[in-house]
């Protein structure tokens, strides 16, 4: 989370980690879902979330 805020604090309005159950792991940035373990049926790989956010903010 620190790396994301350091690099993209000027573009990210909100970021939150919300505990859940049922194997759910979802990442949303500014209200947009960018990763869902339930949809992909796998854990995110190292660096994958950061790369997805980078693609989102860089357009």
d(CA 55, CA 17): 20
Q: What is the pLDDT at residue 24?
A: 85
Backbone angles phi, psi at 20, to 5 degrees: -145, 180
Q: Which residue has the tokens 């994301």?
A: 4
3-state secondary structure string, 14-41?
CCCCCCCCCCCCEEEECCEEEEEHHHHC
Q: What is the pLDDT of residue 1?
A: 67
Q: What is the pLDDT along the chain (59 residues), one digit of tens a residue?
A: 677 777 878 877 776 666 677 888 888 887 888 899 989 999 999 889 888 988 887 77
Judge whether 59 and 46 are in contact, CB under 8 Å: no
Indicate the CATH number for domain 2-58. 3.40.30.10
């Amino acid at each position: 989370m620190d790396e994301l805020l350091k690099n993209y604090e000027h573009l990210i309005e909100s970021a939150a980690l919300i505990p859940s159950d049922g194997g759910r792991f979802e990442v949303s940035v500014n209200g947009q879902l960018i990763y869902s373990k339930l949809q992909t049926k796998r854990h995110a790989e190292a660096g994958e979330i950061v790369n997805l956010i980078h693609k989102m903010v860089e357009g």
